[in-house]
Chains A and B, each alone.
Chain A
């Protein structure tokens, strides 16, 4: 039995259509047209304990609807979901005691209270025994380097500090499952690294299952073995990063540093992705032309100082995947 099992989850919303202008707004007071939107449309997946999953998709694709249903605060129209043997929305209180949730955009700390007091309140809310609480709090404080900010009210924290405090706050009750919604949004580079490093350790060392929604593909590349892509309410792709790449494109990129900046680079089996002075980036399909042949052909016409072959960045893959969805 997987830790998280989702089968055929469907959720529709009725959205009131707004008519334009003042007259339209008045008319809307008396009769409203409603339109039904399928936020998620038959989503299924299963997750084993200890997995670290990236859940990505364009805005409005159904990510947060899924996460809300999985965290028990939204009741879907149909479909099945079992997490740790419970249906989240049928047994909300018992369910949420066993999960942790962190929203990058919102804090769950008390705004005007020192961080440490927020932790104490959460201890009461989650009924964590005093000993467990102290042990876990001290561990988290050490791991996340929170010592210096414990007595600061949440509103005075920097975004990076706040996010680290929120991570600690979500883990005080030692949940086996953690939902992270955009945990690195707005953070500077070093704060992002700190968050990623922590999440990785949490997953590897404690075996905490992590479901991460993000728009930052570096998060995905740094953390996730498995990626689920949702668009228009359906799961488009579910598997390893490598598989995701393959399903979208076999393309690889050849980057060349030329000796002199002249002449157009042309080859029947490659297309230019970008050109910046002496640096040229070409995309090619290794099934059609081997990199060695391609390099030889180009080097015969243009002196090359340096070169390397790489996978397109995950951003390009995902952009392409989303792009293919639109008519």
Chain B
């Protein structure tokens, strides 16, 4: 059903072709400029202590690719505050399917494809510098999947907060976009409290930092590299539980 809903949304959105191209190009440019920023940093200061540019690019490429994928499939949650405000959520509840599935399938735009292309190009370039083994490839896939779930979880949380207050967007954006930006660099350049936040509260380090360390052949306990990415699905699971609480609250208060 989700696939059909998403396909329908895409067909609807493709009616507005000009806007689609503009948005895709703009999103691609932003990602491009961001990475140029990192590159400029390197060319100015030589390197981050202990990291080469291709290594940093692996962090950056993985997290941006994952985020672009999430962005592609989570727009319904991203825009949920609007859905709620105009009263369209009643219509969702009047249909005999889980509300989360319907919201997930509500809107598909191709705009994040720009970011996805950029992320993938940088990822490919970084990958060319890695000595691949089957284990490392599996870790990369695990990291991608874990990050996808983590970001999806953040967006579900963002949507859930809208049940209580309509001003959830800014705070959550600082976590999602901030997380993508922060995760684009090796985590050990940050102060400890920051690393802890992104390990235990929003487990970005688990889905990106530990597996990438292993891929790059750095010192890391194998358990950490292999198990940490599971924090992503776990986070999504918790987010969906919170979502259910939110839907329950909505049903008892109306809007």
Contacts and interface: CB of A to CB of B under 8 A. Distances in A.
Interface residues of A, number: 29
Given A96-B94, A110-B12, A124 B4 contact: yes
B87 A125 contact: no
Contacts of A74: 251-252, 254
Contact of A108 (B11, B12, B87, B91): B91
Contact of B90 (A73, A75, A124, A126): A73
Nearest to B91: A108
A125 B97 contact: yes
Interface in B71-109: 87-88, 90-91, 93-98, 102
A111 B94 CA distance: 18
A171 to B, nearest CB: 14
A96 B4 contact: no
Interface stretch (A45-53, A54-62, A87-95, A256-264): A87-95
B96 A126 contact: yes
A245 interface: no
Interface in B141-192: none
B93 A121 contact: no
A94 B254 contact: no
B181 to A, nearest CB: 31
B94 A101 contact: yes
B223 interface: no
A97 interface: yes
A316 B88 CA distance: 35
A110 B90 CA distance: 15
Interface residues of B, number: 24
Nearest to B86: A106
Interface string A314-325: 000000000000
Given A112-B15, A121-B4, A13 B91 contact: no
A71 B94 CA distance: 7
B53 interface: no
B87 A106 contact: yes
B24 interface: no
A110 B96 contact: no
B43 interface: no
Contacts of A111: 12
B242 interface: no
Contacts of A93: 96-98
By secondary structure, the B interface counts as helix
B13 interface: yes
B8 interface: yes
A112 B13 CA distance: 8
A113 interface: yes
Given A121-B4, A124-B4, A73 B253 contact: no
A89 B1 contact: no
Contact of A96 (B5, B15, B87, B96): B96
A113 B93 contact: no
Contacts of A233: none
Nearest to A173: B96
A80 interface: no
Nearest to B88: A106
A94 B254 CA distance: 21
A183 interface: no
B90 A68 contact: yes
A285 interface: no
Given A93-B98, A110-B8, A125-B1, A75 B252 contact: yes
Contacts of B253: 13-14
B252 A125 contact: no
B254 A112 contact: no
Contact of B251 (A89, A101, A124, A153): A89
A72 B13 contact: no
B24 to A, nearest CB: 19
B241 to A, nearest CB: 18
Contacts of A75: 248, 251-252
Contacts of A127: 96
A91 B250 CA distance: 16
Given A73-B251, A74-B251, A117 B8 contact: yes
A256 B253 CA distance: 54
Contacts of B96: 93-94, 96-97, 125-127
Contacts of B87: 106
Given A74-B254, A124-B1, A125-B1, A112 B12 contact: yes
B11 A113 contact: yes
B8 A113 contact: yes
A14 B249 CA distance: 13
Nearest to B251: A75
Given A13-B253, A93-B97, 7 more contacts: A71-B94, A73-B251, A89-B251, A96-B93, A101-B94, A112-B15, A113-B11
Interface of A: 13-14, 65, 68, 71-75, 89, 92-94, 96-97, 101, 106, 108, 110-113, 117, 121, 124-127, 153
Interface of B: 1, 4-5, 8, 11-13, 15, 87-88, 90-91, 93-98, 102, 248, 251-254
9 contacts: A65-B254, A106-B87, A108-B91, A112-B13, A112-B15, A113-B12, A117-B8, A125-B95, A125-B96
